[in-house]
Each structure stands twice: as structure tokens, then as C-alpha cells.
């Protein structure tokens, strides 16, 4: 077999890199559970009518096809899920009778999208979502809550750059447009989609789209862009800037009140690493959002686009009798971690979880060495036994190559096992001391691989 060629858009990580990703996932799960979110996992595939309910996403869906498929369509009518929100909406409807509402869920899974790979965008990647869903109604205070939970999680990833949480409300946008005479669901959605491109395209390009294909007159397009230019970090400035635009509408007032509430509830998140700003250019291109919307950008890494986004959806899940409104936010784990690994050299300080290598004097001592390792593992000390009974110097060099900080020299088999007969060596400092495998524990910082970053390339 010839040497395999990497498959674009399907990232694979080396062990020291995977350790970084695993610590990210462990931190996310820990924080989500601290806030009372229950973990769920949905199936990887959904019927196409469920997947395409989200909007114009046909080009992103990977279809399932058997090798000997005989159907007229050439596929099984199933596709791999391209996000976790649509499958979750189906999950809520299917299992509503077994859930307590408001239902707080977190979900960390792979998703697949058939789009052009580029930095931060992949065909297979991991997302981490949290959502709060109610039955019939859901208080707007939950909008701020999901943002606070996700910021809590991201802030604990101390190797991440600082970041800015951008928040807006689609009722503000829709109400403002109504006040300008922009009405009709399709037209409103199309104007929002064009405005949402302002983080990627120059203002002039977006203005051209609004006046050309969308069909707004020049004056209306200017007023649309004036709203999108509003930025504020406090409620008073936000209200003043919006009202200065001279547009009134009941939906605008409702959305502005909700946005002010979220901005105020998130004010306590601000520190040297976290900024919170009301950014009225943020619309989110997906048409199921009905109120609050979020995007998050890393400082100095704005080229990645939004790495954490979401919002309020009041009618995504409904069975015709009962509606399940919700609000959620999603962190693109692969979107952030893979570029950081590539551009900063971010990796764990060792490629294996083992903190201790138990030395092997000879092959006859393997069972004894295994027993010592088991005593260490019983107290959650990760360890492994040397693969072969080489000279101790070679076994120490083997540990060095793997990044294992400690080598354990067992008491000879058949002794009484007193603590003075076992020795452990810190191969970094050369210090070697007697130790008891039933009581000795390495320092906390050595128990798990530590994330380290080189200078940015």
C-alpha cells in the first residue's frame, strides 16, 4: 500500500494535540454540568425533511447511500447532521414525554458539512452546544444565561486568546425594517442575510447587494446600514444610538428591551479577556432565530469568523399542538482548536497520559511490576509498565522520549514491600526518593499532560 494522502477537511490530531482537544472537551463538560445541564447524544443521521427544515442547506448535507443502492433518488433519504440544533429539536419532540421542562441540555458531537475546507472550516468537526428549552414558554432571562455559561467555560481555557461576545436581537432588526417599510418575510430575511455579511465584505459591497439584487432604494439601504453600524457596551448608549436613528415600531421596542436586558445581565462577564458588546450588524443567517442572537470572535484571530454563536428560537420545535421555545449557543471546538494547534504549536507537554513508568528489571518481574502499577492506578495515578526489561538507563530514556516525568523502581519481588524498598525518580531533576505505591502521589501539575504553546508562527 502506498503512503496515504491526507483527506482535506477531515482533521486528524497527533497524541499531544489530541490531549489539548481532550482537555477542552473535559473543561466544557465540567462547566456545563456545574450549571445543571444534562448531557445527551443524538444519532448521526436524520431524515432529509428534518435536516432541510432549517433553510437552504442542501449543498451542505452529506447523503447516505448504500453501495448497492437501488432507489430512484440514489440515496436512502437520510443525511449526516450538519449541526446539533436541528437534531436536538427532533429529539425534544420525540422524547418530550420523558423530559422535565425547562430542559437544560449539553451535547458534544461530530457533525459533517459538505463545504469547501479552509482554516477553521472543515467537513468533519466537533461542536459543543448548550440549550435551554421550555414547553409553551421560556423566560428571556435564559438568553443571558446560556451566554454566561459558555463564557464561563471559554474563560477557563486559559490558553485561548481574549474574546468578544457580540449580542443582538432579531426583533430589533425586523422592527426597525418594518418602520422603514421593509415588510414581507422573504424580503426581511434577505436583507438580514446581506447585512450579516458585513464581517466578511466591505460596506460598499453589501450596499450594492441591498440596492441591486435585493431592490432597496439608496436612502433605505443607507438607513439599514446605519442600524448595522451601531455598537454599544452599555444599555444607555445602546438605547440612545438606536433612538437617534428616528425609527419607531412596537417590535423594535420589544426587541430593544430584550437586548438591553441581555446586555445588562452579561455586563459582569467583562474583564481583561472578555468583552461584551451589542453589535447590531449581527443577524445570524439562519431564519429560525426569532430574538436574541450571539456571535463570538477571538482577538487577533478575527479571520476565523465567529467561533461561538447561537440565539433564541421560539418555534423551531413544535408538534402542531405544543411549541417548545428555546435558546442555545454553540462552540466550534475544531474550528478553534485545530488552527491554534497549527499556528501556535499548541500541544500537551507529553504525548501520553502516563505520569509514571514502572521500570522492569527482568521479564520474570513483569507480574510484580504490573501489581505495583495497579496500586498506583487505584489512586488515579496514570502509569504504564516498561515494554521491555532493558538496562534502567535505557528505560529512563524511553520515559524521557514519551515525556513521562517519573520512573518507579519496584522493590524486588518476594520482599515484604516496605516503603523503603520502592524508589521513584523525577527524571527532570534527577531527584530519587523512597516511596510507597499505596501513598505516593505526584504533584497535581504532573498528573495530567499540561497544555503549552510555542511562539506564534
Instruction: Quickly list DSSP for 122-148.
Output: -SEEEEEEEEEE-SS---THHHHHHHH
pLDDT one-digit tens code per residue, 84-134:
999 999 999 999 999 999 999 999 999 999 988 888 889 999 999 999 999
Q: Is the pLDDT of residue 456 over 60?
A: no
pLDDT bin (cut points 50, 70, 90) of residue 49 is confident
> What is the overall mean pLDDT for the chain?
92
Q: Which of 403, 398, 170, 396 shows the shortest CA–CA distance to 287?
A: 170
**Segment 244-263, tens digit of pLDDT:** 999 999 999 999 999 999 99
Q: How far is CA 156 from the centre of its chain?
A: 13
Average the pLDDT over 5-19 and give the result: 93
Q: C-alpha distances in angstroms, 220 versus 43, 178, 179, 215, 231?
A: 45, 11, 11, 10, 20
Confidence of residue 12 (pLDDT cuts 50, 70, 90): very high
Q: Considering only CA atoms, which of 192, 228, 231, 229 is closest in space to residue 209?
A: 192
Query: pLDDT (tens digit, 9 = 90+) per residue, 363-374?
Result: 999 999 999 999
Please choose, from the candidates 48, 36, 142, the residue with its C-alpha nearest in 3D space to the C-alpha of residue 90. Answer: 48
223 three-state secondary structure: helix
- Give the pLDDT confidence score for residue 149 in this predicted structure: 97
**For strand 323-332 and strand 356-358, is the pairing parallel, antiparallel, or unpaired?**
unpaired
CB 407 within 8 A of CB 427: yes
Q: How is residue 133 written as a grid cell?
A: 428549552
3-state secondary structure of 325: strand
> Among 260, 255, 253, which Cα is nearest to 237's?
260
How many angstroms separate the CA atoms of 285 and 312, rounded? 13
For residue range 272-301, what is the model confidence (pLDDT) as tens digits?
A: 999 999 999 998 766 678 999 999 999 999
Confidence of residue 35 (pLDDT cuts 50, 70, 90): very high
H-helix or E-strand spanning residue 165: strand 163-169
Question: φ and ψ at 110, to 5 degrees?
Answer: -75, 145
Query: What digits encode the pLDDT tens for the residues 330-382?
Result: 999 999 999 999 999 999 999 999 999 999 999 999 999 999 999 999 999 99
pTM to 2 decimal places: 0.90
Phi and psi torsions of 244, nearest 5°: -65, -15
DSSP designation for 363: G
Q: Give pLDDT, residue 457.
A: 38
Identify the weakest region by mean pLDDT among 41-50, 113-122, 227-236, 356-365: 113-122
Region 80-84: mean pLDDT is 93
Task: Provide the Cα torsion 414, 420, 421, 422; round to 10°.
Answer: 120
Question: CA separation (Å) from 90 to 45, 317, 364?
Answer: 12, 7, 58
3-class DSSP assignment, residue 276? strand
**pLDDT of 70 higher than 70:** yes
Helix orientation angle between 250-265 and 141-155, rounded to the nearest 10 degrees = 40
Cβ atoms of residues 17 and 347 within 8 Å: yes
Q: What is the dihedral of CA 26, 28, 30, 35, to 10 degrees?
A: -170
Whether the per-residue pLDDT at 59 is higher than 80: the answer is: no
The Cα–Cα gap between 78 and 66 comes to 11
pLDDT band at 417; cut points 50, 70, 90: very low
In the structure, what pLDDT confidence band is assigned to residue 4 with cuts at 50, 70 and 90?
Answer: confident
pLDDT at 414: 65
Task: Note the pLDDT of residue 446.
Answer: 96
SS3 53: helix
Beta-bridge partners for 71: none
Q: Using CA atoms, how far apart are residues 134 and 314, in angstroms rounded to an integer?
A: 9
DSSP-derived secondary structure letter, 302: G
Helix (H, G, I), strand (E, B) or coil at 324: strand
Residue 308 has pLDDT above 90, yes or no: yes
List the domains of the chain with CATH numbers. Answer: 15-187+231-239+246-347 (3.30.930.10), 356-449 (3.40.50.800)
Amino acid at each position: 500500500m502506498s503512503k496515504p494522502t491526507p483527506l482535506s477537511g477531515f482533521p486528524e490530531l497527533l497524541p499531544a494535540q489530541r490531549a489539548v482537544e481532550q482537555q477542552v472537551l473535559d473543561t466544557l463538560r465540567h462547566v456545563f454540568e456545574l450549571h445543571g445541564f444534562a448531557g445527551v447524544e443524538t444519532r448521526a443521521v436524520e431524515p432529509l425533511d428534518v435536516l432541510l427544515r432549517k433553510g437552504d442547506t442542501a449543498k451542505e448535507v452529506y447523503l447516505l447511500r448504500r453501495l448497492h443502492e437501488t432507489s430512484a433518488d440514489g440515496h436512502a433519504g437520510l443525511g449526516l447532521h450538519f449541526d446539533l440544533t436541528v437534531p436536538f429539536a427532533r429529539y425534544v419532540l420525540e422524547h418530550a414525554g420523558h423530559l422535565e421542562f425547562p430542559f437544560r441540555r449539553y451535547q458534544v458531537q461530530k457533525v459533517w458539512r459538505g463545504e469547501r475546507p479552509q482554516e477553521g472550516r472543515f467537513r468533519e468537526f466537533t461542536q459543543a452546544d448548550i440549550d435551554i428549552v421550555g414547553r409553551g414558554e421560556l423566560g428571556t432571562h435564559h438568553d443571558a444565561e446560556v451566554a454566561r455559561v459558555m463564557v464561563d467555560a471559554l474563560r477557563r481555557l486559559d490558553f485561548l486568546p481574549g474574546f468578544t461576545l457580540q449580542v443582538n436581537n432579531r426583533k430589533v432588526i425586523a422592527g426597525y425594517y418594518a418602520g422603514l417599510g421593509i415588510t414581507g418575510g422573504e424580503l426581511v430575511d434577505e436583507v438580514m442575510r446581506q447585512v450579516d455579511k458585513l464581517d466578511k465584505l466591505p460596506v460598499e459591497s453589501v450596499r450594492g447587494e441591498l440596492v441591486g439584487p435585493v431592490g432597496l432604494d439608496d436612502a433605505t439601504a443607507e438607513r439599514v446600514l446605519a442600524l448595522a453600524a451601531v455598537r454599544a457596551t452599555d444599555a444607555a448608549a445602546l438605547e440612545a444610538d438606536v433612538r437617534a436613528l428616528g425609527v419607531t415600531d412596537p417590535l423594535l421596542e420589544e426587541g430593544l428591551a430584550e437586548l438591553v436586558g441581555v446586555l445588562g445581565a452579561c455586563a459582569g462577564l467583562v474583564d481583561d479577556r472578555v468583552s461584551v458588546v451589542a453589535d447590531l450588524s449581527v443577524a445570524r443567517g439562519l431564519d429560525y432565530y426569532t430574538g436574541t442572537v450571539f456571535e463570538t470572535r477571538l482577538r487577533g484571530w478575527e479571520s476565523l469568523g465567529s467561533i461561538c454563536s447561537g440565539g433564541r428560537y421560539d418555534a423551531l420545535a413544535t408538534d402542531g399542538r405544543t411549541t417548545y421555545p428555546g435558546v442555545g449557543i454553540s462552540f466550534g471546538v475544531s474550528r478553534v482548536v485545530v488552527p491554534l494547534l497549527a499556528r501556535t504549536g499548541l500541544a500537551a507537554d507529553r504525548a501520553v497520559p502516563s505520569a509514571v513508568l514502572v521500570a522492569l528489571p527482568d521479564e520474570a518481574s513483569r507480574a510484580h511490576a504490573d501489581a505495583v502499577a495497579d496500586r498506583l492506578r487505584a489512586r488515579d495515578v496514570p502509569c504504564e509498565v516498561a515494554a521491555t526489561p532493558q538496562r534502567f538507563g535505557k528505560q529512563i530514556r524511553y520515559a524521557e522520549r514519551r515525556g513521562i516525568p517519573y520512573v518507579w523502581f519496584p522493590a524486588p519481588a518476594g520482599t515484604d514491600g516496605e516503603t523503603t524498598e520502592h524508589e521513584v525518580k523525577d527524571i527532570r531533576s534527577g531527584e530519587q526518593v523512597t516511596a510507597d505505591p499505596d501513598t505516593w502521589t505526584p504533584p497535581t501539575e504532573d498528573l495530567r499532560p499540561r497544555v503549552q504553546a510555542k511562539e506564534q508562527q
